[in-house]
Amino acid sequence: MPELPEVEVVRSGLAPAVTGARVTGVAVLDERALTRHPAGAADFAARLEGAVIAGARRRGKFLWMPLQREPHALIAHLGMSGQMLLRAPGATAERHERIRLGIEHPRHGRLAVVFADQRTFGSLAVDDLIADGDGLVPAQVGHIARDPLEDGFDEGAVIAALRRSASGVKRLLLDQRVVSGIGNIYADESLWAAGIHPETPGRRLSVASVQRLLDEVRLVLEKALAEGGTSFDAQYVNVNGEAGYFAHSLNSYGRTGEPCARCGTAIVRVSFMNRSSHFCPRCQRRR
């Protein structure tokens, strides 16, 4: 599933092309891509056609494009395999294409923004904007916490939330009410870097340990972002269809049986919340 670095790569690729662009047409090819827009395809198209996009923003795994002079935004959740692609107008339909927006930019001219999704767990929607601190976010995003790379991230509040909980620290890192955008891959990588077992209860961690963990979370996310995100297959790509290469920098996730880069002990994999956790049993001893 695309996580914060992958969604940020997509956002930064879209921003120059969509900011200031007018939506000239909307083609919904598969209404399964509108599960987050219950009013249906006709309403979705009517709300977008003729609107001017004011920018591209992100929180955690959500991406949205506010509309100028409208209290609404086009919001995207990529789900497991969603892709937002920039294409020339009239370009051949993408495999698994679900929705296509025609846009016209004052400088870049006409383009197509394509939403493709193999597994159909992702969705687009037009959502109302609501107040969130000193800004506005879509209503569907209002319930999730800020992510570690976002302005206004309250590190002190996150440290306090982790340290008062009896839940395992990895479960807490994946709780969108505590902190958003980390996801399974980057939780494993951050815990490995901090030398913390994923099942360590939050309340057993010192302030210094949680601070170190959050520092590693930022470093891992920033490195993944610099390397274009993590691509294990063709499902995650940037707006130009190119894969990220952070998979080559992973130290724990997906490295079952391989030697730990720090101590040489074999990385282990255990079942976790219908997923998997990967860690070094020596470097990350459970308390």
In eight-state DSSP terms, residue 124 is: E
Q: Name residues whose C-beta falls within 8 Å of residue 91's C-beta, 6 or more positions apart in sequence.
A: 112
Q: Which of 3, 189, 199, 216 is catalytic?
A: 3
Q: 281 catalytic, yes or no?
A: no
Q: 148 catalytic, yes or no?
A: no
Task: Count Cβ atoms within 10 A of the Cβ of residue 66 and give its class: 0-12 exposed, 13-18 middle, 19 or more buried.
Answer: buried
Q: Which of 2, 5, 66, 198 is catalytic?
A: 2
Q: Which of 22, 36, 262, 275 is catalytic?
A: 275
Q: 242 catalytic, yes or no?
A: no
Q: 203 catalytic, yes or no?
A: no
Which long-range contacts link 218-221 to residues 24+ away (Cβ below 8 Å)?
Answer: 218/148, 218/149, 219/193, 220/186, 220/189, 220/190, 220/193, 221/4, 221/5, 221/148, 221/149, 221/181, 221/182, 221/186
Instruction: Report CA torsion sign: 216, 218, 221, 224.
Output: negative
Query: Residue holding tokens 């440290």?
Result: 159
Q: Copy the structure tokens of residue 23.
A: 């939506």
Q: Which of 61, 98, 146, 255 is catalytic?
A: 61
Active site residues: 2-3, 61, 275
